[in-house]
Amino acid sequence: MIKVEWFYWLCGIFFVLIALQVLNDRTNPKRVGSAAFWGILGLSFGYGTFVVNKQAPAWLLGIAVIGLAMLAGSGFPGKGEERTTTPAERVHLADRFGNKLFLPALVIPVVAAIFGAWLAKVKLGDGTPLLQTGSATIIGLGVASILALIVGMVLLRPQTGAVGRGRNALQNPGVPLHEGRRLLEHIGWAAILPQMLATLGLLFNASGVGKAVGRVTDHLIPKGSLIAAVALYCIGMAVFTIIMGNAFAAFPVMTAAVGWPLLVQQFGGTPAVVFAVGMLAGFCGTLCTPMAANFNLVPAALLEMKDQYGPIKAQIPTAVPLLACNILVMYVFAF
Amino acid sequence: MGSARHRGGGRRVRPPDQLDARSHGGRYRRRPDRRPVAGQDPKILNAFGDGFAGSRSVTVFIVTLPVIGLIERYGLQQQARKLIGRLKVVTTGRLLAVYLLIRQGTAALGLTSIGGPAQAVRPLIHPMAAGAAERRYGGKLPDKLQEKIKGFAASADTVGLFFGEDIFVAIGSILLITGFVDATYGLHLEAIDIALWAIPTGICALLIHGARLLLLDRKLDRLAAEIKAAEKETAR
């Protein structure tokens, strides 16, 4: 069975190698702290395996997580000088390699889709699944990235000094690692933000914040008004999702407070419609919140945007009318 | 990496008796010298550690960075721009609207990992969208236009994913709905019913965001004209 932990180790090794590179990068004014950041992150990926398997104490990783947050709060990781091709060189290289350049980029979605749609269902001789259950997407992405890298290396042969100038003449396997570091340094600490927020959401949930909010919403509904109850459920899902960054965390709360007792039990709504549309109303909230960092802040970092809220600003004018659509769809079809 | 699990489906919610932040805050206040050591069960730190270890899947997108960086080094973005620049019918808005349709359609078939900001938007979709705009407005784009295009490129990916994947039966959010309400309220909801009722909203999302993407061309026209006018003003 192909296990998802292998790919977490791959990520861990990548981060550790980045840390070693950063430590040697004298152009980076914050190289020690930055190397510490990527190094701790890398080690925590491997250590996480033992935490998940209950073979190692989780609190040690907890300390590492707080350490990462403190490093991020003090301005780490920093960035070194970029050593890559110039735009002019790239135009020249694009002329030389042409559409072959798309091949590695297309390998990733194709291979990932094959894993997610087909290999996820394949079973081995002894009946166990080929891919660890529930992790086909992650495994597919990992394998796809490795294959794409192999295709890219064969196609581009980066060691031949094709780019010419001495400062770019890196050793063969060093080139993708170096270029990967360039992108990762652009993303910076935002790279771990989604994981941090996911962890924080878990703590929120467990400490009962949700239940308290559920009690408050009880007092907000005018008695006997169906449209008010529908609107409260949908808007509540969106607002709660904006706060938590996560529609899945909002769903049990709003459903226990409004969806089930009022919409289904009192007004006799069709459960499938109420719950399906309620969740989608929550997704409208996800479009608007920086708390959903992996969907909203990481793309901004990846695209090197000056305004990290750019994607959210592009999405809010869609999210608001779509939320109204959800209220309408539920009102019309569920009752 | 775009699967719904990242919105939290994979989270294991701990029962409150295993984690009570307030009581422990109190305990540590009374004993400030107390250090967490193995066997004493420092619950908040444990919760942080467990949560972080259990959420590693959201960071896996970084494994795509080396190969994307490599092909960028050899001119991928320039090639994407060149390719789109030749096709006169392709405008920024139309290209992103088509991508929205593809992203939503493939997500509805369960192929959520086909797109994503790292795999598709940065290497392919954004350079193409920017290339189309560069052809239209001539040469390097002003910052304002670049930011707009980047924001909308990211939004096409996200909106397509969110309102497509819920039409697919075996996705985290649907399993969460059926799992939660079946267990809590004793219902027997079919996942396929939940998926079917995601279709009306999915169509609304495609219409609303698709229309906004098509209107983006006009918005960019206006922005470019304004910037040009402002430049003339300062030149005078």
A260-279: pLDDT as tens digits? 888 999 899 999 999 999 99
The residue type at A277: V
- CA distance, residue A225 to nearest chain B CA (Å): 23
For A260, name the nearest residue in chain B, comparing CA atoms only.
B185
pLDDT for B16 beyond 60: no
The answer to whether the CB atoms of A153 and B70 lie below 8 A apart is yes
Give residue A2's identity as a one-letter amino acid code.
I
Query: Which residue of B lies nearest to A4 if distances are taken between CA atoms?
Result: B57
Q: Over 60: is that where the pLDDT of B27 sits?
A: no
Query: Would residue B57 be called left, alpha or beta, if left means φ above 0 and alpha means ψ between -120 and 50 degrees?
Result: alpha
pLDDT of residue B210: 97
Nearest chain B CA: its distance from A140 CA (Å): 8
Q: Per-residue pLDDT for B59 more than 90?
A: no
Do B47 and B19 touch, CB atoms closer than 8 A? Answer: yes
CB pairs under 8 A between A and B: 429
Distance from C-alpha of A307 to C-alpha of A63, rounded to nearest angstrom: 32
Interchain CB distance below 8 Å, B22 and A207? yes
Q: In this prediction, what percent of chain B has a pLDDT beyond 90?
A: 35
Task: Check CB contact under 8 Å for A271 and B111.
Answer: no
Residue among B10, B63, B180 whose CB faces A7 most closely: B63
Looking at chain A, which residue has its C-alpha nearest residue B165?
A280
Residue A125, min C-alpha distance to chain B (Å): 24
**Alpha helices, H only, A74-189:** 87-97, 102-117, 136-156, 174-187
Asked if residue B46 lies in contact with residue A62, where contact means CB atoms within 8 angstroms, the answer is yes
Asked if B25 has any chain A CB less than 8 Å from its own CB, the reply is no
As a whole number of angstroms, the distance between CA B174 and CA B193 comes to 10
Q: Report the percentage of chain B scoring pLDDT > 70.
A: 81
Provide mean pLDDT across the span B159-187: 83
Run of H or E residues at A280: helix A271-286
Q: What is the pLDDT of residue B218?
A: 95
B49 and A59 in contact by Cβ < 8 A?
yes
Does this complex have an ipTM over 0.85?
Answer: no
Per-residue model confidence (pLDDT) at position A271:
94
How close does chain B come to A178, measured CA to CA in Å?
Answer: 8
- Cα-atom radius of gyration of chain A, to the nearest Å? 24
- Choose among A203, A287, A303: nearest Cβ to B47: A203
Domain ranges for chain A, please list them.
208-333
- Phi first, then psi, for residue B75 (nearest 5°) are 95, 25
How many Cα atoms occupy the beta-carbon half-sphere of B80 within 13 Å?
Answer: 26
Per-residue pLDDT band for A209 (boundaries 50, 70, 90) equals: low
- When mean pLDDT is compared across A100-104, A161-165, A188-192, B28-32, the lowest value belongs to B28-32
- What pLDDT, on the 0 to 100 scale, is given for residue A13? 96
Cβ within 8 Å, pair B166-A283: yes
Please report, as a single letter, which amino acid is at residue A299.
Answer: P
Residue A22, pLDDT > 90, answer yes
Sequence-distant (6+) residues with CB within 8 A of A107 are A144, A147, A148, A151
Q: Which of A66, A104, A287 sits opposite B67 (nearest CB)?
A: A104
Domains of chain B, residue spans: 64-235
A131 forms bridges with which residues in the sheet?
A2
Residue B65 exposure: Cα atoms within 13 Å on the Cβ side: 26
Range from A16-25, B130-139, B141-150 carrying the lowest mean pLDDT: B130-139
Closest CA to A44 of A64, A67, A20: A64
Q: pLDDT-based confidence at A214, cuts 50/70/90?
A: low
pLDDT, average across residues A13-18 = 95
**Residue B17 pLDDT more than 70?**
no
- pLDDT score of B30 more than 60: no
Q: Pull the structure tokens for residue B60.
A: 């896996």
Q: Do B184 and A192 touch (CB under 8 A)?
A: no
Of residues A65, A148, A329, nearest to B49 (C-beta): A65
pLDDT band at B98 (very low <50, low <70, confident <90, very high): very high
pLDDT at B35 exceeding the cut of 70: no
Task: Tell if the CB–CB gap between A276 and B198 is shorter than 8 Å.
Answer: yes
Q: Write the residue in B16, B63, B76 that is nearest to A14 by C-beta.
A: B63
Rg (CA), chain B: 24
Q: How far is A126 from chain B (nearest CA, A)?
A: 24
Tell me whether residues B173 and A97 touch, CB distance under 8 A: no
Q: Which residues of A touch B170 (CB under 8 A)?
A: none
Find where tokens 């009722």 sit.
Answer: B197
CB contacts, 8 Å: B177 with chain A = 251, 275-276, 279
Lowest mean per-residue pLDDT among A152-161, A279-288, A325-334, B217-226 = A152-161
Kindly identify which residue of chain A lies nearest to residue B50, measuring between CA atoms: A58
Of B59, B70, B162, the CB nearest to A176: B70
A299/B79 touch (CB, cutoff 8 Å), yes or no: no
* Residues of chain A found within 8 Å of residue B190, distances taken between Cβ atoms: 272
Contacts 24+ apart (CB under 8 A), B12-18: B12/A202, B12/B54, B13/A202, B13/A205, B13/A206, B14/A202, B14/A206, B14/B47, B14/B50, B15/A206, B16/A206, B16/A207, B16/A208, B18/A206, B18/B43
Rounded to an integer, the average pLDDT of A271-295 is 94
Of the two residues A135 and B194, the one the predictor is more confident about is: B194
Provide, as residue numbers in chain A, all residues whose Cβ is less than 8 Å from the Cβ of B75.
Answer: 85, 89-97, 101
Q: Is a pLDDT exceeding 80 seen at residue A210?
A: no
